[in-house]
Amino acid sequence: MTKTSWSRCSKLALAALVVLVTAAAPAAAVSVGGDDVPEEAQVGSKVTASVTLDELYKNPQLESWTLAGSTELEDVTWTVTYYDQTGAKVGQESFDGQNFSGANVAAADGTSEVEVSVSGTAPEVESYTYDPAQSFAVLSLEQTRAGGSTNDIDSWSAHHFTEESGDARDALDEARAAVADSGSEEARSTFEKAVSAFESGNSFGLATDLAADAESQAQQAQQSSQTMQMAIYAGGGLLALGAVVGGVFYWRSQQSGYDKLG
């Protein structure tokens, strides 16, 4: 009886815990129906990105909430456009600055879809990294409910670069594959120096030159390896040919001996 009673108590306690956790957990955020966000941008270039939000009221008790956003773009303009179920525009708001808040999303307004668009200038790179590549936040969105509880909706980032850093990265990318295939320690060491020069942020020319050196060393190592393999194959072929020729001579000498005996 005691064992059964403890088992029932444990199940009841577990069920109560699940209910408490479920009640305490925030409702799921809205869904992202689509996005058009660039994967990379050159520093100082104009960047425009847009995100569409749907399934705006997943929680049956949630009939309105506010939308906020942030970005690391500079000279920023936001546009928030509201659409009804037919796709018709029912409202639009504009905001300036790297952060905005207070965009009201309400079922009473007929809003069933929201498009957030942000435009600005790609920022300077504060710290260069080769792998993973340095990036910046294009936009991040969050949902705030009545009462102040907040959910992150999603965030999007993009790789940013200068013309010099882009050229250096291209050289590193080309060298990396050759170095990996060669197995050359010398090439690997040179490649690591190239990466260090790149990540210093002010030696892109040196990084490009070192990457080219690493690729050349890798190619030379591969050629040496191929030459050695060909020499080994050639030597093996000569040995095999010698064995065959020797066998033929031996067989002929044996045949000649039998003829004399006959």
Written as tens digits, the pLDDT of the chain (262 aa) is: 333 343 444 443 434 433 333 333 344 568 999 999 999 999 999 999 999 999 999 865 788 999 999 999 999 999 999 999 999 999 999 999 999 999 999 999 999 999 999 999 999 999 999 999 999 999 999 999 887 889 999 999 999 999 999 999 999 999 999 999 998 999 999 999 999 999 999 999 999 999 999 999 999 977 855 555 554 444 444 455 555 555 555 556 666 555 544 4
Return the sign of the alpha-carbon dihedral for residues 200, 205, 211, 214.
Answer: negative
Query: pTM for the whole thing?
Result: 0.74
CA-based end-to-end distance of the chain: 108
Return the sign of the alpha-carbon dihedral for residues 14, 15, 19, 20.
Answer: negative
Q: Report the helix count and the strand count for the chain, using DSSP H and E.
A: 4, 10
Upstream peptide bond of 60 is cis (omega within 30 degrees of 0)? no
In 3D space, the residue among 126, 215, 139 whose CA is nearest the CA of residue 177 turns out to be: 215
- Contact between residue 69 and residue 140 where contact means Cβ atoms under 8 Å apart: yes
* Three-class DSSP labels, 166-199: HHHHHHHHHHHHHHHHHCCHHHHHHHHHHHHHHH
* Spans of all domains in the chain: 27-161, 165-252
Burial letters for 92-111: b for 16+ Cβ neighbours within 10 Å, e otherwise? eeebeebebeebebeeeeeb
Quick one: pLDDT at residue 246? Answer: 55
- Contact between residue 29 and residue 143 where contact means Cβ atoms under 8 Å apart: yes
> Residue 66 corresponds to which tokens in the numbers above?
């506010």
d(CA 33, CA 115): 9
Strands 150-161, 40-42: pairing kind: parallel
Strand order in the sheet with 64-70: 40-42, 150-161, 135-144, 64-70, 99-106
d(CA 94, CA 88): 18
Question: To which CATH superfamily is domain 27-161 assigned?
Answer: Immunoglobulins (2.60.40.10)
In 3D space, the residue among 206, 180, 186 whose CA is nearest the CA of residue 195 turns out to be: 206
